[in-house]
Amino acid sequence: DQQVKQNSPSLSVQEGRISILNCDYTNSMFDYFLWYKKYPAEGPTFLISISSIKDKNEDGRFTVFLNKSAKHLSLHIVPSQPGDSAVYFCAAKWLTGANSKLTFGKGITLSVRP
Amino acid sequence: ETGVTQSPTHLIKTRGQQVTLRCSSQSGHNTVSWYQQALGQGPQFIFQYYREEENGRGNFPPRFSGLQFPNYSSELNVNALELDDSALYLCASSLVQQETQYFGPGTRLLVL
């Protein structure tokens, strides 16, 4: 039973355009969400996060939107750059749970074409 | 500030053997979590250590065990290796209850 779903395995966009990466979750106990970027042969790198008390968080070119009623979040990258090409993981956690474990989706491979 | 480090980077073992993977936390972080990432999947939570005690465990059998040391470094031990244990093993550190976990580069384990 996958509690965090990234249904599109890959996305290809033109440099300078917007990249929109989607993520859905099923567990209503999740109250904190994170996006990680992963290059080959490296560990995941933290990008941006959002608490369930917000519906938007922005950091430079990266914005995450949260729609709690739809149990959906999305990561927007504007403008996209070739260096953004990587695998992006959506992760969720329950802040008041016994531990701070992260539940990950399967990831989306983003390719930004020059 | 030193980030999370892991050793070794790659490892090849045969079925039935035992393996120990090591992790050094980011400076100031007292919580360590271990994850297994199989090919084409997202990382799966194995367990977490805080103050040298296990603080939560995912759906992994008891042959996966761990330790956390007073300096907050950690080990992941896997006994009786199976072919399906072949994966990237990731260590992440954080302050307890802090929202963000910071990952090391991982150890790639191949079981033949």
Nearest-Cα distance to chain A for B27, in Å, is: 17
Q: How confident is the model at residue B1 (pLDDT cuts 50, 70, 90)?
A: low
**pLDDT of A33 above 90:** yes
* Block residue for tokens 């759906």: B59
A89 inside 8 A of chain B by CB:
yes
How much is the pLDDT for B100? 86
- Mean pLDDT, rounded, of chain B: 93
Question: In this structure, is the dihedral angle defined by the CA atoms of residues B23, B29, B31 and B36, taken in order, positive or negative?
Answer: negative
A42 inside 8 A of chain B by CB:
yes
Please tell me the total number of residues recorded for chain B in this structure: 112
Choose, out of B99, B103, B107, B108, the residue to mutate when testing the contact with A (most A CBs < 10 Å). B99
Q: How confident is the model at residue B93 (pLDDT cuts 50, 70, 90)?
A: very high
- B67-90 pLDDT per residue, tens: 999 988 999 999 999 999 999 999
Q: How confident is the model at residue B23 (pLDDT cuts 50, 70, 90)?
A: very high
Across the interface, do A101 and B58 touch by the CB < 8 Å criterion?
A: yes
Nearest-Cα distance to chain B for A64, in Å, is: 15
How much is the pLDDT for B12? 98
Find, in chain A, the residue whose alpha carbon is nearest to that of B43: A104
| CA–CA distance, B96 with B92 (Å, rounded to integer) | 12
Across the interface, do B103 and A99 touch by the CB < 8 Å criterion?
A: no
**pLDDT of A75 above 90:** yes
State what percent of residues in chain A have pLDDT above 70: 97
B89 Cβ neighbours under 8 A, 6+ residues apart = B6, B21, B34, B35, B36, B37, B76, B106, B107, B108, B109
Q: Which residues of B touch A104 (CB under 8 A)?
A: 35, 42-44
- Mean pLDDT, rounded, of chain A: 94
**pLDDT of B60 above 70:** yes
| CA–CA distance, A111 with A40 (Å, rounded to integer) | 13
Average pLDDT for residues B32-50, to the nearest whole number?
94
**pLDDT of A95 above 80:** no
Identity of the residue in A49, A51, A100 whose CB atom sits nearest the CB atom of B48? A100
**pLDDT of B99 above 70:** no
